[in-house]
Structures are given as C-alpha cells and as structure tokens.
Amino acid sequence: MARKLYAIALATYCIALNPTTRQGQRQRRPQSPSNHKRVVAIGDVHGDLDALRTCLRVAGVVDTSDAWIGAPGTTLVSTGDVLDRGDEDWECLAYLHTLQAAARRKRGDVCLVLGNHEVLNVLGEMRFASTKSWHAAAEACEPPRRNVERDDDWARRARIRAFAPGGAGAAYLADLCGDAPVGRVCGDTLYCHG
C-alpha cells in the first residue's frame, strides 16, 4: 500500500512541476539532445557537499574554485538522492542549480533525476533531513527570525514550505529536472534512480 501511495504521489508531483501539464496541454516525450559528447553521472550525494565537489573535480567538470569547466557537450546527470542524511543537502541542491546555469552558458548541461529522498521532501517528510539542513533551507527561504538556532520546529516547517509547489526548493527541482523528472535519456542510455 505504501509503495502504491508513493508512486501516486511521485506521479502527481511530476505533473504539477511540468508547466505544459499544468496548462492542460498534452505531455510530450522527452527528447534527448544530440550534443551529449560526454556524460558524467553521480548519485546518492545525500547532502555531502565536499564529496560532491571532489567527485566533480575528479571528473573534470569543475575547477578548484568549483566553477564549471566542462567542455561543450558535457552533461552532468545527478541520479537522485541529493537530499537528506547529510547536513549540507540544501547547499548541494543550490550548487547543482548554479552549475546548471554555468554549464548551459558553455553549451553543457546539469540535470537531476528525482530520487526517493527528493520525493519524500516534496511530500513534507523530513525525518531523514538533519536539523542543520532544516535551518539551511529556512535561512535561504524565509525572512530572518530571532533565535532561529533554537527554533527547530519553525525551521522544519520552513523546509516543508520550501519544497511545496511554489517554494524555492521545488523551483530548484523543477529547473534541474526539466521535462524528465524520473528518467533522463542521454544518447542511448537512460539514467534513473535505482
């Protein structure tokens, strides 16, 4: 039963994110850009910003100052679970969002395929997110408050709002996922969260 509800919730969220679906138009099949000369895939970052940056440096898509240096036609695919467990998951998501803009300026791309932890956050389930990551989302998305460091409940609620439709976290996910939130085709390969 829980698995069925999860699948229904995921499908509902994907439809809500897609602007063409929201306007009542037919959803089209995602097309694979033909410019994928190199694909770098990474999964299950789980809020470990240092590990993410290290992996991207080793892969040669960012430099030591974390700026995009991927060659034209380079695509970075995150196969989900950027969120939860680690303390810097909000920072990881924001970093990937920033990299996406930089990559596109250089004819590359950064995209995300939703994992179960992104979906859990969208559903308001924060049990796998650390208190520190609640506060990071709250500080990024909400007006300043006194004694925020002592107000964990407010921070948790702010993070829930951030991932609700219209929130900053939901916008990051929508931008990174584009029109293919559960699978990304690059060349002959389908990338998805396993």
Domain layout of the chain by residue ranges: 36-191
Range 20-43 average pLDDT = 63
Strand boundaries in 52-127, DSSP class E: 74-78, 109-112
Find the catalytic residue in 36, 97, 117, 193: 117
Range 70-86 average pLDDT = 97
pLDDT in tens, 113-142: 999 999 999 999 999 999 999 999 998 998
Does position 100 have pLDDT exceeding 80, yes or no?
A: yes
180 contacts 30 by C-beta, under 8 angstroms: yes
Q: Which residues pair with 68 in a beta bridge?
A: 62
What span, in angstroms and rounded, lies between the C-alpha atoms of 191 and 119? 17
Annotated active-site residue 117? The verdict is: yes
What span, in angstroms and rounded, lies between the C-alpha atoms of 6 and 17? 16
CATH number of 36-191: 3.60.21.10
Is the whole-model pTM more than 0.85?
Answer: no
At residue 28 the predicted structure's pLDDT band, cuts being 50, 70 and 90, is: very low
Contacts with 173 (C-beta within 8 Å, 6 or more apart), sequence order? 17, 93, 112, 114, 118, 122, 163, 181
138 contacts 148 by C-beta, under 8 angstroms: yes
Can you state the angle between helices 168-177 and 89-105, rounded to 10 degrees?
40
Short-list 175, 158, 162, 121, CA closest to 9? 121
The pLDDT > 70 percentage for the chain reads 79
DSSP 178: T
Report the residue count for the chain. Answer: 194
